[in-house]
Amino acid sequence: MSIKVRYFASLKESIGRSEDNLEIAGLATVGDVWRYANPNKVLPDNILAAVNMDYVEWDAAVNDGDEVAFFPPVTGG
Amino acid sequence: MDIKICPEPFDPWQEIQAHQSSVADMAGKFGATSIFIGTMRDFNEGDNVQGMTLEHYPGMTEKQLEKIVAEAMRQWPVIDALVMHRVGDILPNEPIVLVAVWTSHRGDAFDASRYIMEALKSRAPFWKKELLKSQSERWLVKNTDGYL
């Protein structure tokens, strides 16, 4: 299946890229997507996840065509 | 409801006036307008700050702000709301965020605008990176506490 992964802010800087386009079978959850895309990267504390621009937990399911995003706590306003 | 992500500086007072004038059926209906404006400071955590870059997640930002305002409109009888937020490079004294809420009575205006502002702070995907006078840069790690 096809998954677009996006990274923002300090997380984007620390892993050195803003997105990945994955073509892989067998990714069931948001946590799987992180581990596949960043196999050697310890997950920084407090990272948030979204699927198709809605917040989700790490065990949320992913489906073909989803956009998964990872980012640090938000600091707007 | 109007939500605007602004890559350029904006004048919140002109925006409030323009919005209020543009919604024809609002005239005579509202008795209270609550306004929150967040402005960039030139100091933070004991350091002099000379600029800021605001990154956001296009699409998710609008989606989350629309949900937040819709939640407020379900909880309080809001006649209309305007939310604006800067992105990009910002200088001290420039407005960052505007939340304006029009209601019949003051209690609903205060409560709904505070709800929108606090929810924006914790859920809208914006990230601030400060440029200090010392020329070093740093990402803000978390927002200051509100009073919810």
Q: Tell which CATH architecture fits domain B2-133.
A: Alpha-Beta Complex (3.90)
Q: Does residue A47 belong to the interface with chain B, where contact is any CB pair within 8 Å?
A: no
> Quick one: how many helices (H) and strands (E) in chain A?
2, 5
Domains of chain A: 2-71 (3.10.20.30)
The predicted-structure confidence for B3-37, as pLDDT tens digits, reads as follows: 999 999 999 999 999 999 998 888 899 999 999 99
Q: A53: distance to nearest CA of chain B, Å?
A: 5
B129 vs B142: CA distance, rounded Å: 11
Looking at the partner chain, which of A6, A8, A74 has a beta carbon nearest the beta carbon of B123? Answer: A74
Consecutive H or E run containing B13: helix B12-22
Confidence of residue B148 (pLDDT cuts 50, 70, 90): low
Angle between helices B60-75 and B106-123 (to 10 degrees): 150
Q: At B71, which amino acid appears?
A: E
Q: Do B143 and A77 touch (CB under 8 A)?
A: yes
Whole-model pTM: value is 0.95
Q: How close is the nearest chain B Cα to the Cα of A27, in Å?
A: 23
Q: Is A8 on the interface with B (CB under 8 A)?
A: yes
Neighbours of B139 (CB within 10 A): 17
Contact B60 A50 (CB under 8 A): yes
pLDDT band at B146 (very low <50, low <70, confident <90, very high): confident
pLDDT score at B147: 61
pLDDT digits (tens, 9 = 90+) for B35-57: 999 999 999 989 999 999 999 99
Q: Please check whether residue A45 touches B, CB under 8 A.
A: no
SS3 A33: helix
Burial per residue of B48-72, b for 16 or more beta-carbon CB atoms within 10 angstroms, e otherwise: ebebbbbbbbeebbbbbbeebbeeb
Instruction: Spell out which residues of chain A touch residue B121, defining contact as CB-CB under 8 Å.
Output: 74, 76-77
ipTM above 0.90, yes or no: yes
Residue pLDDT, tens place only, B79-103: 999 999 999 999 999 999 999 999 9
Q: Reduced to 3 DSSP states, what percent helix, strand and coil does chain B have, rounded to the nearest 5?
A: 30, 40, 30
Which of B49, B60, B83, B118 to mutate: most A Cβ within 10 Å?
A: B60
- What are A51's strand-pairing partners? A54, A68
Q: Is B139 close to A9, i.e. CB distance below 8 A?
A: yes
